[in-house]
Amino acid sequence: GAGVSQSPRYKVTKRGQDVALRCDPISGHVSLYWYRQALGQGPEFLTYFNYEAQQDKSGLPNDRFSAERPEGSISTLTIQRTEQRDSAMYRCASSPPRGTGTLDEQFFGPGTRLTVL
Amino acid sequence: GNSVTQMEGPVTLSEEAFLTINCTYTATGYPSLFWYVQYPGEGLQLLLKATKADDKGSNKGFEATYRKETTSFHLEKGSVQVSDSAVYFCALKGSSNTGKLIFGQGTTLQVKP
């Protein structure tokens, strides 16, 4: 079946603009995670949803960052008034309900490479 | 807080050489441990995992054993191939229910024929 998809794959924007990054999880996966990965580093947790509820947003760096998952499926990560330091790969992952045989595994999408000029 | 430390790369090996990539962690409680791999141009894929002390995860000839006494989860492979060239990430999931993964910085492996 289809994996996690993200769009756009590449986004170049000017400083001060808002951007919206989309994640489409694997069908039936109830948990959805957003991570940010700087060049040469491991992914860093941003936020987590269980169905439509945002369970943990402790990793969002400041109030310019927000995320939503209104119908418990597709999620959007929005960055307002982008800054050059926001340039990174933004990765989305989803995981199935507990008890379905793949405990703890997160399936990652290809990522969106954001460049802020 | 929870953290993961990996050996710095890049690691360059000849084909059929033995591979070890060190990973140590700091965590409260009983975390689950993972190795993810990122092949060139692709996304992150789960390579193997272990959910309790002394468990051994294995896949594609790679192995890692969850050592609570040394807080380590070192990745090993007896004979690497050129196709194993990738970036390897060690990660942990804490005992809480959020499910978020904490990753190490990644280790680049380059295998030469």
- Give how far B100 is from chain A: nearest CA, Å: 7
Put simply, the answer to whether A104 touches B34 (Cβ < 8 Å) is yes
Answer whether A108 touches B (CB < 8 Å). Answer: yes
- Give how far A103 is from chain B: nearest CA, Å: 10
Put simply, the answer to whether A59 touches B89 (Cβ < 8 Å) is no
Q: Which residues of A touch B4 (CB under 8 A)?
A: 42
A54-63 in b/e burial notation, b at 16+ Cβ within 10 A?
Answer: bebeebbeee
What is the per-residue pLDDT across B52-96, written as a single tens digit (0 to 9) for each? 999 999 999 999 999 999 999 999 999 999 999 999 999 999 877
| Residue at token pair 């890692």 | B64
Q: Is the pLDDT of residue A1 over 60?
A: no
Bond before A8 cis per omega within 30 degrees: yes
Answer whether B93 touches A (CB < 8 Å). Answer: yes
What is the per-residue pLDDT across A65-107, written as a single tens digit (0 to 9) for each? 999 999 999 999 999 999 999 999 999 999 988 766 555 689 9
Answer whether B28 touches A (CB < 8 Å). Answer: no
Euclidean distance between CA atoms A61 and B41, whole angstroms = 27
Euclidean distance between CA atoms B53 and B43, whole angstroms = 28
